[in-house]
Amino acid sequence: MTAPGHPQARENRSGLVGQSVRRVEDDRLLTGAGVFVADRNPDGVLHAVFVRSPLAHARITSIDVAAARRAPGVVAVITGAEMAEMTHPFPPFLMLPGLYTPLFHALSADKVRLVGDPVAVVIAESRYLAEDAADLVDVDYEPLPTVASIAEALSPTSEPLWAKAGGNVMMDHTDTFGDVDAVFAAADRVITERFDCPRQSNQPMETRGSLVEVDAATGHLTIHNATQSSHLLRWAVAALTGKQRTTTALKRFITNKQRRRAFFAGAKQFVGTNRDGLKEQDNAGPLAQLKKDRSFLGHMNKIAVGLLGKDDYPTVKAQDIGGGFGSKGPVAREDIALAAAATSLGRSVKWIEDRTENLMDGGQAREESLTVSIAVDSDGTFRAMRVDLIIDQGAYPGFPIGAPLITKMMKVMFPGAYRWDAFEIRSRVVATNKGRYIPYRGPWANETWARERMIDVVADALGMTPAEIRLHNMIGADDLPTSMVTGPSIDETMSTKQTLERALELIDMDQFERDRVAAAASGRRLGLGIACYHEAAPGPPEFWDCIHPGTGMLTPEEAHTTVEADGSVLVYTQQMPHGQSHETTYAQVAADELGVRIDDVTIVSGDTDRTPFGFAGTGGSRGGPIGAGAVRTTAREVRRQLIESAAGMLEASPDDIEIVDGNIHVAGVPARGVTVAEVARRAADDGASGDLHGAPFEVADVYNGAGDGGWSVATHVCIVDIDLGTGLVTFPRYLVVEDCGPIIHPAVVDGQVRGGVAQGIGAVLYERTTYDEDANLQAATYMDYLVPTAMEIPEIEVHHLETLSPGENDFRGVGEGGMVGAPAAITNAIEHALGARVTTQYLPPTKILELAGVIVPG
């Protein structure tokens, strides 16, 4: 519950916030009445199957689709070359200093760069018939040498994936904070270790999928898609499929007065609200891109002109989405190909990714090498840190967000909750013949893994305990206000030290030591691991500009709150819920703010025709701090307007009026009130009708979020029990002490934390996207990619601190942290148990037994 006396608690009139109320979503999801994209089967829909490369790296010398086109039930086969005629390539989205972003099309025409690269799409009356015909597509490949690892990609003799990149290093940039050389020279000791994290995959239980419906009369596209960001997909499809002659497009733009007005008004508003952000943009990124490849200029011009000349952008919709964990944020090549195919055929087309496709290129993550040096004094005081980071981004860059931006997030977060005099990170991104590297829950998480792993290494070298060295160096309440060495300011919400202290209180160390001795006597090893982190959720106001100047303008989020003539409340959000329970938590926030019952509130999401614009969708732990903040501020204004309207009817001053359970009355005199519905009906009868949704009460607002309490933090402590006979690791105890500020819905928060920890356990002990030395995918089914089950995931204890900040909307994000902390705590515990250095994040039983000296590395 929210602490009594806190401003939010005082305003929680019906007090729903802080309670695990019944989930609104469950009524349909527990009865089979949910509607996921695969559940939509409109009459006459066609089914798409992609023809994919069996080779990791090859030139396409010929492609013969004649037999496939003749196959029964086939309506069309579109090759890569044909698709390139219909669509623009994916352009570089965020050009960063030292980065080259290759351009690529929805389907590959000349060259394939990974196993699973789509080279054609078959569209038929059923998926079965489309699969049959896909087998008849005859592609001749001329194999090229493959690039299967970071080491190979760094070699100057490796076969370049991208002709204009000048090798396979796509980005190389160093960020320095403070006089690193001097601090390193002055420190008592320098300790260095390299950590490698193998490839993992997001693996939501629902794969990606899209149904593109074409309106026969107008050609308008309605795209039902399992996307984390509906507006991003809408604009990406409009941009990349809007291919037309420049003169035609310009003429259409000039002659369409409404379109022209909307464009200039939008541009004016954008420049007006983002003046500071735009000033901070520098040219280093675009210049780095230009040096290697000027082609993006022409393509971006054509895309821009195409957008201007387009009257009709698609509608993107989704009701239920079966998880994402970052993988449904990026725009997929298949999304573009499907929209282009449906447009050209004038018929509705559906593609539901299968699990093997999802494991091949539905999103992979975390393959990173991190060499960390810490300069430390003999008393354990951290002085400076140097990091050499290399990310393997696979073949095609994630769009719009991939490895390059994630290096910047890691740059800012790497120092963690500790004091440093200086910090430096060299960030490289390499291309290999593997699946797309994309954001996966806590995309920057390996900074926490490598740092927290390294801190244990340093503690070991200095003869300190992991807890001692952390407490000695961690920023505490006495240090405030302060800043991270990488820039972001730190306030009282950065309570990592309190979570560590609380976690240590909850562990009986003496008992653990006794258990440890007893276990050793029966062929088992116990170990205890600690990991601490803080994450920006949403972060202080300057956070995104510390990541990259100018990106701060991407953070604000809009919401609309309306009261309909019947008194029902609708809240419109650009968020795209895919498991986070927004329909419940946002209704709690809005109902409390307005003073109505939760059943009177409906959350509207997943429809670009109705919801406010925003590219962010759901991700980045933004749902609590920014999305719910926008709900709160708009609901608060609606409440003010309701009271103002009611004041006349009640002949009372607005200051004396309150709203309780939908009844508006003078405080303490509920019997002489009017209902929200009566006030709304009267306003509607008087002709009140909002511009956006036509409701009698209607408020739209953009909420910035930043500054209202910035950090979400936690300490994870786990105890591992390792069987030296089998190499299996179990968890007698897994403990999380987290602080995401006041909690809207405790069961939802606990679920987010536990789900994240489960993915961290999977990452360390079970899951690996394995490729062989020729970049052939070895884990293409769930027989090989091992998602942990109820037998592998332990009970996870979650404890909460609820540090309050002075901000008006103090909810802080909680979606990502579980996954951020878990790999570090687990690998630290395993090193402690085995007394052997752990430098990889993937520790299956064979690796455990090797580390334990039971078996000899093969």
**Residues found near another protein in the complex (CB under 8 A):** 20, 22-23, 25-26, 29-36, 38-39, 41, 43-44, 71-73, 124-126, 128-129, 132, 203-207, 320-323, 325, 352, 354-355, 578-581, 747-748, 750-751, 754-755, 757-759, 781-783, 787, 789-791, 793, 795-796
What's the closest the beta carbon of residue 539 comes to another protein, in angstroms? 25
Decide whether 69 or 243 has the Cβ nearer to another protein: 69
Q: Where are the alpha helices (DSSP H) in 476-575?
A: 496-506, 509-520, 543-547
Query: Tokens 């387009």 belong to which residue?
Result: 310
What's the closest the beta carbon of residue 136 comes to another protein, in angstroms? 11
Decide whether 62 or 789 has the Cβ nearer to another protein: 789
Question: Rounded to an integer, what distance in angstroms lies between the CA atom of residue 422 and that of residue 450?
Answer: 17
Decide whether 334 or 491 has the Cβ nearer to another protein: 334
Decide whether 108 or 585 has the Cβ nearer to another protein: 585
Decide whether 592 or 750 has the Cβ nearer to another protein: 750
Decide whether 327 or 393 has the Cβ nearer to another protein: 327
What's the closest the beta carbon of residue 612 comes to another protein, in angstroms? 23
Decide whether 25 or 152 has the Cβ nearer to another protein: 25
Instruction: With CA atoms as reference, report the closest residue to 596 among 654, 659, 551.
Output: 659
Decide whether 355 or 682 has the Cβ nearer to another protein: 355
Decide whether 407 or 752 has the Cβ nearer to another protein: 752
Q: 75: helix, coil or strand? A: strand
Question: Rounded to an integer, what distance in angstroms lies between the CA atom of residue 499 and that of residue 514?
Answer: 25
Question: Rounded to an integer, what distance in angstroms lies between the CA atom of residue 558 and that of residue 556?
Answer: 7
Question: Rounded to an integer, what distance in angstroms lies between the CA atom of residue 190 and that of residue 386?
Answer: 10
- Residue 345 φ/ψ, nearest 5 degrees: -85, -20
The answer to whether the beta carbons of residues 494 and 502 sit under 8 Å apart is: no
Nearest-10 crossing angle of helices 582-594, 628-650:
30
Instruction: With CA atoms as reference, report the closest residue to 822 among 755, 767, 768.
Output: 755
Q: Is the four-CA dihedral 373, 830, 747, 804 of positive or negative sign?
A: negative
Question: Rounded to an integer, what distance in angstroms lies between the CA atom of residue 410 and that of residue 445?
Answer: 8
Decide whether 556 or 579 has the Cβ nearer to another protein: 579
Decide whether 5 or 44 has the Cβ nearer to another protein: 44
Q: What is the dihedral of CA 283, 289, 292, 293, to 10 degrees?
A: -120
- Under 8 Å CB-to-CB from 760, ≥6 apart: which residues? 818, 819, 821, 822, 823, 825, 826
What's the closest the beta carbon of residue 714 comes to another protein, in angstroms? 15
Decide whether 384 or 736 has the Cβ nearer to another protein: 736
Decide whether 560 or 733 has the Cβ nearer to another protein: 733
The answer to whether the beta carbons of residues 326 and 619 sit under 8 Å apart is: yes
- Under 8 Å CB-to-CB from 496, ≥6 apart: which residues? 416, 417, 474, 475, 532, 533, 534, 713, 714, 715
What's the closest the beta carbon of residue 70 comes to another protein, in angstroms? 11
What's the closest the beta carbon of residue 724 comes to another protein, in angstroms? 23
The DSSP result for 127-143, as a single string, is: HHHHHHHHHH-EEEEEE
What's the closest the beta carbon of residue 73 comes to another protein, in angstroms? 3
The answer to whether the beta carbons of residues 348 and 342 sit under 8 Å apart is: yes
What's the closest the beta carbon of residue 758 comes to another protein, in angstroms? 4
Token readout for 549 is 């100047």
What's the closest the beta carbon of residue 199 comes to another protein, in angstroms? 17
What's the closest the beta carbon of residue 546 comes to another protein, in angstroms? 31
What does the radius of gyration of the chain's CA atoms come to, in whole angstroms? Answer: 28
Decide whether 41 or 726 has the Cβ nearer to another protein: 41
What's the closest the beta carbon of residue 39 comes to another protein, in angstroms? 4
Sequence letter at residue 235: W
Decide whether 270 or 782 has the Cβ nearer to another protein: 782
Decide whether 19 or 840 has the Cβ nearer to another protein: 19
Region of residue 649 (left: phi > 0; alpha: psi -120 to 50; beta: else): alpha
Question: Rounded to an integer, what distance in angstroms lies between the CA atom of residue 538 and that of residue 560?
Answer: 21
Q: Is the peptide bond before 397 cis (omega within 30 degrees of 0)?
A: no
What's the closest the beta carbon of residue 845 comes to another protein, in angstroms? 18
What's the closest the beta carbon of residue 818 comes to another protein, in angstroms? 8
The beta strands (E) that lie in 746-856 are given as 797-801
∠ CA 686-691-693, nearest 5°, is: 90
The answer to whether the beta carbons of residues 173 and 97 sit under 8 Å apart is: yes
Instruction: With CA atoms as reference, report the closest residue to 828 among 445, 457, 513, 388.
Output: 457
What's the closest the beta carbon of residue 523 comes to another protein, in angstroms? 22
Instruction: With CA atoms as reference, report the closest residue to 626 among 546, 746, 547, 706.
Output: 706
Region of residue 297 (left: phi > 0; alpha: psi -120 to 50; beta: else): alpha
What's the closest the beta carbon of residue 790 comes to another protein, in angstroms? 4
What's the closest the beta carbon of residue 356 comes to another protein, in angstroms? 8
Q: Distances from the Cα of 273 to the Cαs of 93, 270, 632, 702, in angstroms?
A: 21, 5, 21, 11
What's the closest the beta carbon of residue 202 comes to another protein, in angstroms? 8
Query: Tokens 């200039």 belong to which residue?
Result: 264
Decide whether 101 or 759 has the Cβ nearer to another protein: 759
